[in-house]
Structure 1
Amino acid sequence: MANWIGCKVNSIPFKYLWLTVGANMNRINNWRPVYDIFEKRLSLWKAALLSIGGRVTLIHSVLESLPTYFMSLYKAPVKVIKDLESIKEKFLWGGSNNVRKTHWVAWDRVSLPKKAGGLGICKLADANLALLSKWGWRFKNDPESLWVKIINAIHSGGSKWSFLPCNKSVRSVWVNICNVLNKPLVDNKTIRCFFKGEVGSGSDILFWFDPWLSDMPLKDLFPCLFRLKIVKDCSVLDRLADGGTWLWRFNPDSTSEMQELSSLSGMLSSFSLASGRDKWMWLGDSTGLFSVKSAKDLLVRSRCVPNVRVIDWCEWVPIKCNIFVWRLELNRIPTFDALASRGIAIFSRVCPLCGYEDESVIHLFISCRFAELIWHKISRWCHLPAIFAFSIKDLLDLHLFSRLGSTEKFVVQGIMISTCWCIWLARNKAVFSDIKPSVEGVFREMRALGFFWFRNRSRFQSVEWNDWCKFVIM
């Protein structure tokens, strides 16, 4: 055949479109190309020269997409996922294999969506499972495809009591994909539980194994009847076209069997076959269509913790400032008390801005005399009542409870974030450069930075400096 077609004869494993075909991808060594890609890309970046906002952007746009090609076909070993996540985590906090940095927020929290209180960084394990789930969707929706026919031919000798044909005696990528779809992941439900058949002619949907009459397969809803059934792998068409005759090993006679038979008969009485092709719906999205994004969202939602404090990200301040107040609200910034609690040696805990009390998040941004004077200036400038706060949450939510218009609230939200950022900059200058800050200097810097960001990062690009200083936005 090779001579007839005019191609070369090769052996397994071999490279095809940069993927290793026929290799045992459960071995760590066969994932070495992905490690090399990560290391090569990181060697071009200097984490210490990037803000945390820049590092988050690079993780979103580059590091999360690098292993996608491999993970769209192969189930990554746990060790590979752990190593690659470790590389991402180190890069996020400015470290590397040679430089160790403190990881201020747990990775489980970082990898939550922004709306759930995280930074929206996707876990590679979720991406891998979502990408592999697409093959199950394609298998069910493209029954006439050549690759589907090949899978059916290879795995037809396996167990027929399955949503997908799977012969585990045949070592293949398909077996790993089936294991992913059959593994409990979301609220102790499998991914395949979110596939539901929409019956047309009924020839391609299995009566007992595919969910079609309910969100669950009938074999799970009526286990007693399923045990009695002789032909278990019949299609909906086969079952409903035989005149309603049930083929039992012996007739149902127990109470549970009769109850199940009555319930099933009642469900089938209102159902009738239609013309046209059988279709499949994805219950993980309101559109009913499968997408890798909706599958990832489904997996992420299962990890979300209820009643978690979620901050509103401001559109017109830089990402680094939004991330800073996110950490600030979690009390995960390197103040003196936070460093001491982590066993890091410090010479003094005294606040570098006022010089009287020990530095903590609450003191530095709320109760410090230096901060109180700045908030007083902010309140006068923005025509707000005197600002009194008991927590960082009070500062970040101030715009929600003010009597200003919607535009002014939008501006005040960014001003509060920018002020916290400038207070932190002044604190760092005092600690590391021995520059004594002034209230007026911090206020001027905040107002200048705020004007620059607001004019260039929002839709109000016509605002002038004099109007900004008078807090006349529109």
Structure 2
Amino acid sequence: MVYKEDQIAKVIVSYFGKLYTMQEGDRRETVEYALAALVKEVALSIHADKAPGPDGFSASFFHSNWDNIGDGLVKEIQGFFESGIIPAKINETHIRLIPKVNSPQTVAEYRPIALCNVEVLSGLCNKAHADGSLKGIRVARSFPRINHLLFADDTMFFIRADQRSCAALSSILSRYEAASGQAINTSKSSISFSKKTPSSIIEAAKGTLNIHQEGGVGKYLGLPKHFGRKKRDLFSSIVDKIKQKASGWSNRYLSTVGKFTMLKSVLSPIPSYAMTCFQLPVSLCKWIQSALTRFFWDARNGSRKMAWISWKKLTKSKAEGGLGFRDFQCFNIAFLAKLSWRLIHYPHSLLGRTLLGKYDPENDFMQITKRSSDSHGWRGILVGKDLIAENSGWIVGDGKSINIWTDPLLSCSRREAPMGPPPEELVKYTVADLFLPNSVEWDRQKIHRILPQWEDKILSIKTSALGAPDKLAWIHSKTGDYSTKSGYWAAMQSRTEPENNIVTPTALQDILPVGERLLARHIDVDPLCKRCGAFESVNHLFLHCPFAQEVWEHTPFASGFVARRSSDLPAVWKSLCDKVCLPPLGIVNVPLAPWLLWSLWIERNNFVFSNRYTSVADTVSKAICLAREWSGAQLREIVKGRNLTAPTPANPISVTVQSDAAWRNSSNLAGLGWTLKPWLFGKPWFSVAEMVSCISDANLILLNLSRQLSLTSPF
């Protein structure tokens, strides 16, 4: 065992030096066989903003300059695998050691990130799949065969349990070892078999592959490898992890604000990874919620304290009087909807071909219904699909995918479709049937005959001039793309009944521990106001107490407020927040009323528990100072968030277009304006478009007009 830093470094270098020592051998044939067409495919598949090296160049450099550097890059990579020699500068990278176990003691229990190169291995598997020597497996007739998957720094192989397939995989691994100089660590590898595999085949496969450890149980990357009937027990470790984090000694002395931050930023995201893949049982979500509730309300010494408000109310947004905590069932649905969104827009991806090929290869994904034989994972994806179906609309392209009676096509911001019942001969009519022959222009006469009450809205829809396919759009975002955040709030809205949309603070939820509420919870206290002796309720504390009435009378509102005339705080809250302060205060866009309530509550507690009296003037002044501080912080955030970078100078032989559009909902008219520089010295151009259904359509029309004009530019 070593403890000094220099000794630890020597042990690490020695261990990984032996592990990654190059093996001698002829690898030219293997490299040319496996990497001929793979290098370009891999380089262009990397996200443009990902994988930057120490020099700062990300993958976008290779994307944009491939025509110039592609051939040289391929030869450089092939040369490295053939000779085992690579220029020192190219080999520079950042290496991080990731512990594989809790409290690692040896170097072997760390995993180095950025040393693994599996391009040759993937290429060999693809070649073997093509020539039939390693076909892989499929789970259904319409399912593509897969013989390997790469995930993080792991490689998973899928083969038939027979001698021929095992021998082919063993040959591939041997060729990879010879070509890369990296040895397969069989002690850290495992092999899983289907339930009905005979024991003789199992032993033969283990011997051929020299892998004797069986897998299939436990977890992989925090998720269970196999599912049984008791789903709740499989995910119970999530709750254990939350409780472990929450009970840490450093968390016991957090203030309420500290607990709020800890809960939202650290504890609530713990189940997120599992939620992205599977639907958690309802009982587990309630178990997680209970653990977080106890963390938020209980005392520092762990003793159980009273929860003054239900978790359901705390999950409301701050604008609705909550704290924005997560409803875990809704958050789970929002994550699953992201998977469904991917299947809708990328049905030909490997994930799409796999799942759709297994569960329903004949029908469109949005038309698939739940069946009793469906797996747990697929049932969760269908739950996400239902959320998308309830909150999406169609963008008209060629019109072939949109049924005019059942699909929402009339609006960009809400689900709206023509109302039936349709005539029997028109039940299967699509939007394309409303176009002129061999065109994507509307047939006005046909629309007037079939859908006269919806004629104006349909004609305001702008179709694709190039005949692009129809696209399903998420109605809760400007771009039409789905996001987990907007999906979560859509799921929350669908689970709750419509309520009054007035902004209410915690006081209006009737949960402040005033005398009335403490008495209602059977706590033996004096329920009378310590200032005036009246029964202390929320309305009394903030409106009817003589001290509170004086505070409101001395508040410098442009129009006064008489508190004694108001019997209920929620009823007058919106008007209080709308009141404008006198100009000398410097409070413009921030309501003063919430800060007055906060000051009254602080002064009440100081008077009750510390016997400290504060004057009316000081209470009002404190509220004004807090409001100013808050207003200044919001202005600083706005300025900080602006992009102050100077615009990049335009190419001297290009045309710069500056444009803007406005849209009026009542008349469906759009005003368009743009300038082209340097052509005509930036002369402004204006136009008006009719039958425009939303501002995004107005912007598209504007871009199309300015583009057409710029193409006629003499530059």
State the shift of 1:61 in Å: 2.1
SS in 2 for 1:302: helix
Distance 2:422 2:545 in 1: 75
Partner deviation per Cα, 1:409-463 (whole Å, 9 max, x = no partner): 548834x433433332333344334x1x4342x643663575377347725999x
Greater relative CO (CA pairs within 8 A, separation 6+): 1
* Structure 1 residues 243-254: aligned runs within 5 Å: none
Tell me if the contact between 1:200 and 1:279 (Cα under 8 Å) persists in the aligned partners.
yes
Once the two structures are TM-superposed, the CA of residue 375 in structure 1 deviates from its matched residue by 3.6
In structure 2, how many angstroms separate the alpha carbons of the residues matched to 1:351 and 1:122? 36
Among 484, 489, 500, which residue is 1:308 paired with? Answer: 500
Could you list the structure 1 runs, at least 4 aligned residues long, displaced by more than 6 angstroms after superposition: 45-48, 157-162, 199-202
Structure 1 residue 216 corresponds to structure 2 residue 406: yes
Is 1:259 aligned to 2:423, yes or no?
A: yes
1:374/1:439 contact within 8 Å kept: no
Greater Cα shift, 365-374 or 274-283: 274-283
1:361 deviation in Å? Answer: 1.8
> Which amino acid in 2 is paired with 1:401?
K
Deviates more, 1:359-368 or 1:260-269: 260-269
For the pair shown, the structure with the greater C-alpha radius of gyration is 2
Q: 2:389 aligned with 1:192, yes or no? A: yes
State the match for 1:288 in structure 2. 480
Q: CA deviation at 1:258?
A: 9.5
Partner of 1:438: 613
Superposition TM-score, scaled by structure 1 size: 0.68
After TM superposition, the structure 1 stretch with the greater mean CA deviation from structure 2, 262-271 or 51-60, is 262-271
Q: How many Å separate the matches in 2 of 1:199 and 1:388?
A: 55
Correspondent of 1:339 among 515, 518, 525 = 518
Give the AA of the match of 2:375. Answer: R
Helix, strand or coil: the match of 2:473?
strand
Matching of residue 398 in structure 1 with residue 562 in structure 2: no
C-alpha spacing 1:360/1:59, structure 2 compared with 1 (3 Å): same
Q: Percent identity?
A: 23
Matched-pair contact (CA < 8 Å) for 1:370–1:439:
no
Q: For residue 563 of structure 2, give the secondary structure of its aligned residue in structure 1.
A: coil
Q: Of residues 541, 546, 552 in structure 2, which corresponds to 1:364? A: 541
From 3, 6, 9, the equivalent of 2:190 is 9
Superposed CA deviations along residues 96-152 of structure 1, whole A, max 9, x for unmatched, are 995333322333222122333433222111110010011111112112212222223
Query: Aligned-pair distance for 1:282?
Result: 2.6
C-alpha distance in 2, partners of 1:280/1:456? 41
Which runs of structure 2 are paired with 1:234-245 in the superposition (5 Å)?
Answer: none
User: How many aligned positions are there?
Assistant: 390
Of 278, 303, 328, the residue aligned with 1:99 is 303
Q: Is the 8 A contact 1:87 1:96 kept in 2?
A: no
**Counterpart residue identity of residue 80, structure 1:** L
For residues 456 and 66 of structure 1, the distance between their equivalents in structure 2, rounded to whole angstroms, comes to 31
| Structure 2 unpaired stretches of 5+ | 1-165, 174-183, 192-214, 409-419, 441-465, 637-715
Q: CA deviation at 1:36?
A: 2.2
1:234 aligns to what?
Answer: none
The alignment's C-alpha RMSD in Å is 4.1
Deviations 1:326-384 (A, max 9, x none): 121232211111111222222x2221122x322222222222223334444445xx787
Looking at structure 1, the residues matched to 342 and 529 of structure 2 have their Cα atoms a distance apart, in angstroms, of 60
Confirm or deny that 1:413 pairs with 2:617. no
Q: Structure 2 CA distance, aligned partners of 1:412 and 1:167?
A: 53
SS at match of 2:512: coil
Question: What is the CA–CA distance in structure 2 between the aligned matches of 1:353 and 1:148, rounded to whole Å?
Answer: 68
Q: Please state whether the residue corresponding to 2:518 is helix, strand or coil.
A: helix
Cα 1:110–1:59 change in 2 (3 A) is: same
Taking structure 1 as reference, are residues 168 and 362 closer, same or farther at Cα in structure 2, changes over 3 Å only?
closer
TM-fit CA distance, 1:82: 0.4
Alignment deviations for residues 196-216 of structure 1 (CA, whole Å, 9 cap, x no partner): 5667689xx8x7xxxx22473
Amino acid in structure 1 at the alignment position of 2:508 = E
Give the Cα–Cα distance (whole angstroms) in 1 for the partners of residues 229 and 277 of structure 2.
10
- Contact map agreement 1:331 1:361 (CA 8 A) in 2: yes
CA contact under 8 A between 1:156 and 1:167: conserved in structure 2? no
* Paired position in structure 2 for 1:239: none
- Check the 8 A contact 1:105/1:332 in 2, yes or no: yes
Structure 2 residue 527 is matched with structure 1 residue 349: yes
- 1:13, distance to aligned residue in structure 2 (A): 3.2
Change (3 A) 1:32 1:164: same
- Measure the CA separation in 1 of the matches of 2:243 and 2:503: 34
From 343, 360, 363, the equivalent of 1:139 is 343
Q: 2:563 aligns with which of 372, 376, 388?
A: 388
Is the Cα contact below 8 Å between 1:47 and 1:91 reproduced in 2? no
Distance 1:142 1:26 in 2: 32
What amino acid does structure 2 have at the position aligned with 1:35? V
Aligned residue identity for 1:9: S
Taking structure 1 as reference, are residues 45 and 288 closer, same or farther at Cα in structure 2, changes over 3 Å only?
A: farther
SS of residue matched to 1:280: strand
Structure 1 position 129 matched with structure 2 position 333: yes
How many Å apart are 1:177 and its aligned residue?
A: 1.8
**Bigger shift: residues 358-367 or 256-265:** 256-265
Q: Specify the SS of the correspondent of 1:120.
A: coil
User: Separation in 1 of the partners of 2:190 and 2:584?
Assistant: 70
Change (3 A) 1:262 1:383: closer
Closer/same/farther in 2, CA of residues 345 and 304 from structure 1, 3 Å limit? same
Q: Give the letter for the 2:406 counterpart.
A: M
For residue 91 of structure 1, give the secondary structure of its aligned residue in structure 2: helix
Letter in 1 for 2:263: I
